[in-house]
Amino acid sequence: MMQKRGFPKAEFQQRVAKAQARMAKVGLAALLLTTETEVRYFTGFLTRFWESPSRPWFLIVPASGDPIAVIPAIGGVLMGQSWITDIRTWLSPNPEDEGIGLLSEALCEVAENGNVGLPMGPESYLRLPLAEYERLKSLTPCNFVSDQDIVADLRAVKSQAEIAKIKASCDVAARAFAKVPEWAAEGMGLDQVFRQFQSSCLLEGAEFLAYLSGAAEQGGYGDVISPAGPKPLATGDVLMLDTGVVLDGYFCDYDRNYSVGMPSDAVRSAHARLIEASDTAFSCAKPGVTAADLYHAMDGVLTGGQGGGDAGRLGHGLGMQLTEGLSLIPQDQTVLTAGMVITLEPGIEVSAGKVMVHEENVVITETGAEYLSPRMDAEIPRIG
């Protein structure tokens, strides 16, 4: 059911080489990385242990040579199974020195008093207490500067192996979505639907479900981020489930809508319009087109070009995170290139305060795009 875990060493070496080429251009002596996805991108280090915030983790990508991992001892065995050979550990937690001494030594070794790039752009964060960051700055002669989005830019373009992992994740969700009408029924609480759907994804092969949102309300829903309550499904509800299944560290992120009983004309027509919007964006999507172009293609179908909607965008990048990189908004002039994986996520107001949202996952190819999620038909599926 699952493909081979991880990637060959050559893939990590290519990622490092590409980063180093860009680092040379902008004068960075090293990258310092602290988050799960940043560390995993260059090492393959995969664990759910990041859920615990107690220990910081560090990866240094030097201007030349292989990365250096500076990590808590509890991760030593697992990191030792990766391609990384320079692994320096400390016994953590240690309030007297939470790895900062070891890290500053390593940075001095590779960067001396040069520029150390940290991801500082959109969606980035420093997974390190601010007090520790100040301490680090005081202990090293390096300058901490922006990585100029080197890591984000590299991650935005996926390899064939990465695309295969996202596809596998989409396939798991597709099997689970297809079975929803087999077990969901009028009278079942939405909280129970959420449990059952997650269980179904697991039994179809998901490693875990990092994300599930949804709603079930009459003729559309008011909100797409609320947790599920016990209110039972009722005839006339539109049930929406939007999931981030994870397989080997790669996400899918798409949703499906279901009509409980016969859909109203308004719901039927809204669903068809959503599909028309994602179909339209799909047919435009190819290298050279911008994120803004796809926004306008969909918004033309949805609102005749008037824009709006609280979601704030009509799609986004996807990969090691549920959402990453570009946004389908008028202001995002990112140019699509082959290997980018994005979501097409049109939303429409069905009536005052009631919306419906549809989402597909696609990969940009040399000549256009391919669906990773199975393209939805115009007709909304039915429960009951």
Q: Is 116 in the site for a copy of itself (CB under 8 A)?
A: no
Min dist CB 153 to a copy of itself, Å, is: 15
Cα–Cα distances (Å) from 219 to 45, 257, 274, in that order, read 45, 11, 15
For a copy of itself, which is the closer residue by CB, 109 or 223? 223
Please pick, from the candidates 67, 99, 220, 244, the single residue that binds a copy of itself as defined by CB under 8 A: 244
Q: Is 359 in the site for a copy of itself (CB under 8 A)?
A: no
| Rounded CA separation 249/209 (Å) | 11
Nearest to 378 by CA among 244, 241, 263: 263
| Rounded CA separation 105/94 (Å) | 17
Please pick, from the candidates 109, 112, 223, 370, the single residue that binds a copy of itself as defined by CB under 8 A: 223
Site residues for a copy of itself, 131-190, by CB under 8 A, read 131, 146
Please pick, from the candidates 96, 182, 265, 366, the single residue that binds a copy of itself as defined by CB under 8 A: 96
Site residues for a copy of itself, 273-312, by CB under 8 A, read 310-312
Token digits of residue 360: 């597909």
SS3 321: coil
Please pick, from the candidates 11, 66, 86, 123, the single residue that binds a copy of itself as defined by CB under 8 A: 123
Site residues for a copy of itself, 25-64, by CB under 8 A, read 46-49, 51-55
Min dist CB 174 to a copy of itself, Å, is: 17
Q: Is 7 in the site for a copy of itself (CB under 8 A)?
A: no
Q: What letter does residue 91 receive in the DSSP assignment? A: -
For a copy of itself, which is the closer residue by CB, 36 or 162? 36
Number of residues binding to a copy of itself, judged by CB under 8 A:
82
SS3 354: strand
Amino acid at 148: Q
Q: Is 321 in the site for a copy of itself (CB under 8 A)?
A: yes
Q: Is 371 in the site for a copy of itself (CB under 8 A)?
A: no
Please pick, from the candidates 271, 313, 354, 358, the single residue that binds a copy of itself as defined by CB under 8 A: 313
Contact by Cβ (8 Å): 323, 239: no
Please pick, from the candidates 11, 86, 186, 191, the single residue that binds a copy of itself as defined by CB under 8 A: 191
Contact by Cβ (8 Å): 255, 359: yes
Residue 180 CB partners (closer than 8 Å, separation 6+): 197, 200, 239, 241, 256, 258, 381, 383
Please pick, from the candidates 3, 85, 181, 195, the single residue that binds a copy of itself as defined by CB under 8 A: 195
Contact by Cβ (8 Å): 248, 163: no
Q: Is 352 in the site for a copy of itself (CB under 8 A)?
A: no
| Rounded CA separation 320/49 (Å) | 16
Min dist CB 368 to a copy of itself, Å, is: 26
For a copy of itself, which is the closer residue by CB, 121 or 368? 121
| Rounded CA separation 381/240 (Å) | 11
Strands 30-33 and 58-62: antiparallel
Please pick, from the candidates 30, 57, 62, 75, the single residue that binds a copy of itself as defined by CB under 8 A: 75
Q: Is 117 in the site for a copy of itself (CB under 8 A)?
A: no
CA 313 to chain centre: 15
